Amino acid sequence: MLGPNGAGKTTSISLMIGLRQPTAGAVRLFGLPPTDRRARSRCGVMLQESGTTAVLTVRELVDLFRTYYPAPLPAERAISMAGLGDQAAVRVGTLSGGQRQRLYFALAICGDPDVLFLDEPTVGMDVEARRAFVASVRTLADAGKTIVFTSHYLREAEELARRIVVIDHGTVIADTSPQELKGRVPGKKITLATGRPLAPADLEGLPASVLSVAGERASLLSDEPVAVLRELFRRGVDVVDLEVTGADLEEAFLTLTRRPDAGDTPSR
Amino acid sequence: MSTPGLAPLGRTLVMQTWSEMRMRWRIPAFSVTIVALPVLFFTFFGLPYVKQTLSSGTSLGVYLLASFAAYSVGSVMVFGFGIGVATERALKVDVLMRATPLPPLVAILAKVLNAQVYALLSLVVLIVYGNVVGGIRQHSAVWITMIAWLLVGSVPFIALGFAIGYLSGPNVAPAAANLVYLPLSFASGLFMPLSQLPGFVQRLAPYLPAYHFGQLAWRAVGAAAEPLSVALAWLAGYTALFLAIALRAYRREESRKFG
């Protein structure tokens, strides 16, 4: 589940696991209300805004959580899959932010759940922790587990997901495969400044979507930045400053939300 | 107790209780204080009067040991639940626990069992101290009866702890618990016999929960001032009141956090 901050990702996850009640509609997990203990016994969750005791060790806390589930993983396995093997005997209160995040992952998987809900799981993880996390998620997915996770990094979603649901302002704006989504999001952002104010005709008909134009400055999104620039120079636009960068998610959303008719009809 | 697809609750309860006990034990600021304070108070307010007797004939030493026993159990509940619940709310431990299959009642029961074990521990330390240092001796059946009644009668103070824990944050909870519980204990005659307190306090005491809780301890040493049924009725009433306050605060937070 992909979306900028404030898109409604955490709210969606909270609804799915029954931490919040929908104002309309209903949520079912395995055909049960998500608050049902039978449903909860098959779920593992990792939340952004949650805490745990500081004075138990990693191993003790994982062992405690394991008793909540009918057929848990061996504690060593859950701990090593989370990359906390060296910290098993350490008290939770002394863990770093990234290690704490890994602890929550260990707690989420220790019950050997059929479905995992992970809310921004890689926040606070360093490069190495992230790599270990990605490997563990792949292992779990290969073992047939369903993994629902949120992210605001397009690249992370592309790397891990088979299906990406893009949401913004609580609305689904795309529900597709990573390949298809990538194809729909322009790859480059062109920012330029000109010697004289830009006329509307200067930017018309370019293979790009215009993000903003203000006086002598404009920014565009395009998959073919070279073609765009060639055309601009051919038209004799007096470019005095130029920057071409990879488009980030914020811009990707702008194009997705601006051109709803270019792809799926947004569902509301 | 085992249902397919669900963890056996008995085992969960044992592990949950054991974890609660370990957590408490590892915070000496709590575990040591809660056991040491009643002993300390008894040393200052009880030991000097061990040789005296009340007009009813009961030894003042026995009477005051029973008073501080009641104080001690109440304090384990009010401080343990008050500060514990407030801290867990602040750390958002409750959010993660809610997302697990652990039934909330099992979590609460584990906390209650843990508190009962600590209360028992603090009673044993106090009674042994009174025996060794103050030479206060009673038949062991007397102490066992007193311990049993105090543990059973502690329920309103658990409810009071929950109410404080849900109404205050972790920084306010210790002060709130002190502000409520210390004057309550004083005015109920747990620190010194009521007859030595000002007249208006003597008239107020029979309306306070700690006074009727104290009756359970004084009854065991033969110094009760009211029938058992009256004490239990008052304690039941206060349980309902504190529980209603706690539930109100809990629901308010519930709708804010999980609505």
Please check the confidence at residue A153 and state whether its pLDDT lies above 80. no
Residues 6+ apart with CB under 8 A from A229: A190, A239, A242, A244
- Whether chain A has a CB inside 8 Å of the CB on B21: the answer is no
Residue ranges of the domains in chain A? Answer: 9-181, 186-246
Share of chain A above pLDDT 70, in %: 91
- Whether chain B has a CB inside 8 Å of the CB on A20: the answer is yes
**Amino acid A251: pLDDT:** 66
Element (H, E) at B161: helix B155-167
* B1 neighbourhood in chain A, CB within 8 Å: none
The CATH topology of domain A186-246 is Alpha-Beta Plaits (3.30.70)
Q: What is the mean pLDDT of residues A215-244?
A: 89
Find out whether B150 and B70 touch, Cβ atoms under 8 Å.
yes
With a cut of 0.85, is the ipTM above it? Answer: yes
CATH of domain A9-181: 3.40.50.300
- Whether chain A has a CB inside 8 Å of the CB on B99: the answer is yes
**Amino acid A170: pLDDT:** 86
Give the residue from B129, B136, B149, B19 showing the smallest Cα distance to B74.
Answer: B149
Q: B98, A60: Cβ pair inside 8 Å?
A: no
Q: What is the mean pLDDT of residues B229-242?
A: 98
Residues 6+ apart with CB under 8 A from A12: A1, A150, A167
Task: Read off the pTM.
Answer: 0.85
Residue ranges of the domains in chain B? Answer: 9-258
Cα distances (Å, whole numbers) of residue A54 to A100, B27, B66, B87, B132: 10, 10, 36, 11, 38
Both tokens of B103, joined, read: 């039934």
Between A118-122, A151-155, A237-241, B236-240, the lowest mean confidence (pLDDT) is in A151-155
Q: What pLDDT digit, counting tens, does each position of A108-147 carry?
A: 999 999 999 999 998 888 888 888 888 999 999 999 999 9
Q: B15, A64: Cβ pair inside 8 Å?
A: yes
What is the SS3 assignment for A214? strand
Q: What is the mean pLDDT of residues B232-257?
A: 93
Q: What pLDDT digit, counting tens, does each position of B160-211 carry?
A: 999 999 999 999 999 999 999 999 999 999 999 998 999 999 999 999 999 9
- Torsion over CA: B95, B98, B100, B106 (sign): positive
Q: What pLDDT digit, counting tens, does each position of B117-142 carry?
A: 999 999 999 999 999 999 999 999 99
Q: B93, A53: Cβ pair inside 8 Å?
A: yes
Cα distances (Å, whole numbers) of residue A195 to A98, A226, A253: 48, 21, 30
**Amino acid B2: pLDDT:** 56
Return the residue matching tokens 């404030």.
Answer: A6
- Whether chain A has a CB inside 8 Å of the CB on B258: the answer is yes
